[in-house]
Every structure is written in structure tokens, then in C-alpha cells.
Structure 1
């Protein structure tokens, strides 16, 4: 295997045939695998040194002079460890949110979707399964039911991503969201996906194969429709808002505990009481995030703070009791607003002070 093909692969410039040939070569022997890891280390360090002047210069300038060398050293180690794969990532995943979009393949391999180039995903036969773009993955085809392989896509705070599943269903994933889904749906049976976080679904119609979203303790079943599901693990509820079509939301452990939704309705599952409720809503409010907006309607600040944390990848500590009791209404364009802009806007209604230390925001009483 030539170093040229390895270099092209690491730079996301290799063709489908070259990628498959590289994978075959890596799996052929431990020696090849070790050689590839060594080449990946060298590539990572070379990339870091060439990018330091552009990407990390502001950070270095903020450090005391005697810490500059230490910072560069740690940055290099981190980048190399990131490239080594599953073990290092899993050891750190429980203590810190990853800052890149991570695709975990069915065989346990991890891919970090940070490259700008288009790449291809092939199966063990060299057949095209999906095309990966900077902000989207598009899947193709179906397989026999016993050959269904599940992938998991995890989107960190501060980012969003889009999937087109192999049946044509389009899924938009919000910040802090994870979706487990079939690489290719089976020829028979249901179309099952598993959601943690928030996603907007545009489900391809297929009456013979119901599409089911498993979200915490609730299941949402559809035949073909558009709807939003919010199921963040820190929230005591699962909300499903229907835009068009029809869906059925039920308790995962008891399918007889069920509610049918019509457009412009939202179903809410209460984790503690095991109850389902439905109400009329303006769906535009609940899908504003898919258009790059944050929409609030008489929303408590505690909820707004969680949304800001996920959207901008920050931590908010609120020590202002008056602010904690306030509700707010409004719409904010994410691309045009910083966290400071939003906080300054909220201060007009309820005075408070805040300080920012790196990514931690502390809100206190006004002086």
C-alpha cells in the first residue's frame, strides 16, 4: 500500500476504490495496521504544525509565555489520541462532550465528520452505501433483514447535522443529539430508529413498513409525515409535534397507552407519571431551530438556559432568583446573535449581571 493512498485517505481525497483497497490492506495483517496508525500519527502532527499559526494563534497569545510550549505539546497529544480510535474516545466520552460530529459504524469504528471533502461509505463488498458531505450523509439501498447494521450519529453542543436515510427519510439533528439508525433498512419489517435529543423528521411514505422513533420511554409511529421530537435525557418529558400527516405516540412498555395526533398538535409523555397528553400548538415555534432560529413563547428562563447551552456550547450558572422565575417570548436568529447578545436582550426585562470565563457564564444579581 503506497503512502500516497494513505495520505489521500487522511485528507479525504481518496476515491471509493482507493478507500476500499486501503481497508482491505489494513485488515490483512497487524503489521499493516500498525503501519497505518504510525502514518496517521505523523499526518496528525504535520497537520497540527501547519495549522497552528491560523487556528490556535489567538489561544496561544492569551497564554503566559512559559506555557506556550506546554500548550502546543498537549494539543499535539490530543490530536494524535483522537485519531487512534474507539478506546481513547470511549474513555473520555463520559467526562467531556466531544466537539466533533461522530459517526459510530456498526463494527465499532469511529469517524469524525470534520472534513470538507465529499467521501464515500462502502460495505464489505465494495458497494456504495452512502455519501458523506460536510453537513449531511445520504444513504442508499436495502438489505435482507438479518443483515441490517445500525450506525450511531452523535452531534455535539453547538452543531447541527442532517441525514438522508436509505428509505428517503430526511432527519435534521439538533445540538446535543444522538440517533441510532440502520445503515440500510431491511426489506421487511418496521423502520426503527432510536433518538436521544431533538430531531425533525420528514418520513418517506411506505404503508408496508411503519417508521418508528424510539425516544426514551415513548414510541412514535408514522407511515409518512413530518414531525418534531424532543427527547433530551435531562428533561422529564418527551414531546412530539406534528406538522402534517398523522402519528401515534405510545408508551414503549405499554402500547395500549396511546394517543393519535393530528396536524398542529403536540403530544407529551411524562416519564414520572407515565401519562400522555395532547394539546393544540403553533408548530412553527417547535421547528424554528431547523431554520437556524431560537423561538420562545412564555418560556421559563430555566428552559431557555438549557437551549442556549446546547446551541452555543456553553455552561450557564444562574444565581439570580428573580431571573429564574421569569418567562420570555421572542425569536432569535442563531447566525446573527451571540450569547452576549441574547443575555443583553434579556437584561432589558429583568436586570442582572453576568460574567464569562471561557465557556462558563455566571449570572448574578444586579449591583
Structure 2
């Protein structure tokens, strides 16, 4: 594989066809993946040496996102490597003790999934189009992070310091557990699914509106209230494995997932398809064309793909 093409991929300037070519090349042999990682590390080093760390007042800082989207096959990377990816930057806030502490913000573009380890040892998977902010070192009272998007948490146990996930509408407090939070502010949605342990979920607008969640249950916000339901299927939360799964989901929700995972916009002109619920499972690496072709077997629709502008029209 040409180094020039790999560096276009790292910079987010490769075309969709070039991205798919790289993904296919990586699948051919383990040696190709090693070459990819080697060149990635070299590119990271260049970024670190050429871009100074930004430290500025939190009120003035603007979240920096990658200028374009690209697909990455769910590489497990440490937090400092994520910084080198150019997905994060430093800002400055004040602790309760008035001591400044560096904050790290990581923004994941569409079509990418990132795995990182927090300073306390907690392991997190960030889904596409997700932003997380956390301190480079937690204080002695609590461990707080701010999330906009979807993330899967495996929180390191620390009875003396609760772990708190703050979102636009709700907060999730835990001591040590495994759970998934889906809270994209752009979609006005919040839900938490608990796999292990226990969490307390409360509304930011009304902290007294709180629910203690038990394993195999989901809490979600509806009309300003928190509601719960039992979970018997976790397929939808296998996104960190590179799978796009949905069960009895409206067409609109399925298309939103495709937009998130494939980094494009989908315009639905055929309103007939919105009347049905869909169930399916795809590998993200199969691509948008394969996913749409399988959906076409269940109900009739056509689609037109504008590759230059990264738009798909459902007709």
C-alpha cells in the first residue's frame, strides 16, 4: 500500500473509494495491519511534534473536530495515542480547590470507533460522532466525565470516588460497573443500559427525578420523565465489535445509525418505508451499499448515491 494514500487516510482527506481500498487491504493479511499501525504511529509522532498543546480558558475554547470523516477498524489505543490522533486537545479548568487541572477533549468523527483508558483505569469505547471530556487526573472526591454521543463504560471500582457521566439531559453515577450511554444532544435522546453493577440516573433539570437501575434494564427519558424497561437483547450494543444491529427499529432510526457509522447524509424521499419496523445485523466493513441491498429484500425502495457529496437518496 502506498504511504501517500495511507497518510491521506490518516489526515481524513482520502476519498470513499480510497478508504474502502485501505480497509480491504488491511483485511488481507495481519502483516498489512502491522504496516498500517507502524505508519499510524509515525504520523502521530509528526502531529505531536508539529502541533503545540493548547491550554486556554474553558469559556473561550471551541471543541475541535476532524475536518472530514474516515473509517477505522476499531483499533484499541491508549488515551495518549488518541491525543496524537488529533482527536483530542487540552484546555484548562479549575478544581473545587481552585487548582488548575488539564482537561482532555476527544471528538470521534463519523465512521470511527475509539477505545481508551481513563486515568483511573476505567475502559471506554466511544462510538462515532461522540465527544467526551475528562481531566488528565481525577480529584480525591469524584471522577467526572462529560459525554455527548454514545459510549460503553467499564468503570474501575473505587468506593471512595463515585464515577459520574454528565450528559446534556441526565447524569449517571456509578462506583464500578458496565453500562452503555446513548446521549446524542443533536438527537435529543438519552438512554442508559446496565449490563453489570448498579447506576443511579437523574435528570439535570430535576435531580430529585432519579432512578436506581438494576442489571439487564434500560432507563430512558420521555416527556421530561425517566422510564425503565427490562432488556432481553443486547445485540444493538455490539457496535464496539464493528457490528450494526437493530431489532424492530423504525427506518428513520436505522438510517440515523447508517449516517453515524458511514459518515454520510441520508435523505428519505420514499415515505412508505417509514411505516415498517426493521431487524438486521451488518458488519460495518460490509459498507453502506451492502446494508441497503439487504434492506431492499424486505421492502421495495431504490436509492441513489451521490459519492461526491456523500449523500444517499432513498426513493
| Bin for the TM-score computed over the shorter chain | 0.7 to 0.9
**Alpha-carbon offset, residue 293 of structure 1:** 0.8
**Residues 1-367 of structure 1 correspond to what in structure 2 (within 5 A)?**
51=4, 98-99=68-69, 131-132=80-81, 146-186=99-139, 188-270=140-222, 273-282=223-232, 284-335=234-285, 337-358=286-307, 359-364=310-315
**Alpha-carbon offset, residue 160 of structure 1:** 0.8
**Alpha-carbon offset, residue 245 of structure 1:** 0.2
Structure 1 residue runs of 5 or longer lacking an equivalent are 1-49, 60-82, 102-112, 120-129, 138-142
**Alpha-carbon offset, residue 340 of structure 1:** 0.5
User: Relative to 1, partners in 2 of residues 1:193 and 1:155: Cα closer, same or farther, differing over 3 Å?
Assistant: same
Which of these two proteins has the greater Rg computed from alpha carbons? 1
SS of the aligned residue for 1:207 comes to coil
Structure 2 residue runs of 5 or longer lacking an equivalent are 16-49, 55-60, 89-94
User: Relative to 1, partners in 2 of residues 1:283 and 1:228: Cα closer, same or farther, differing over 3 Å?
Assistant: farther
User: Relative to 1, partners in 2 of residues 1:325 and 1:189: Cα closer, same or farther, differing over 3 Å?
Assistant: same
Cα distance in 1, alignment partners of residues 51 and 101 from structure 2: 27
**Alpha-carbon offset, residue 215 of structure 1:** 1.1
SS of the aligned residue for 2:110 comes to coil
Query: TM-score, normalized by length of structure 2?
Result: 0.72
User: Relative to 1, partners in 2 of residues 1:92 and 1:361: Cα closer, same or farther, differing over 3 Å?
Assistant: farther
SS of the aligned residue for 2:147 comes to strand
Higher relative contact order (CA 8 A, sep 6+): 2
* 8 A Cα contact 1:156 1:177, kept in partner: yes
Cα distance in 2, alignment partners of residues 162 and 362 from structure 1: 32
**Alpha-carbon offset, residue 55 of structure 1:** 5.4
* 8 A Cα contact 1:322 1:350, kept in partner: no
**Alpha-carbon offset, residue 100 of structure 1:** 7.0
Query: TM-score, normalized by length of structure 1?
Result: 0.63
User: Relative to 1, partners in 2 of residues 1:341 and 1:190: Cα closer, same or farther, differing over 3 Å?
Assistant: same
More helix by share: 1
User: Relative to 1, partners in 2 of residues 1:267 and 1:53: Cα closer, same or farther, differing over 3 Å?
Assistant: closer
The alignment's C-alpha RMSD in Å is 3.6
Cα distance in 2, alignment partners of residues 297 and 172 from structure 1: 22
Cα distance in 1, alignment partners of residues 7 and 236 from structure 2: 38
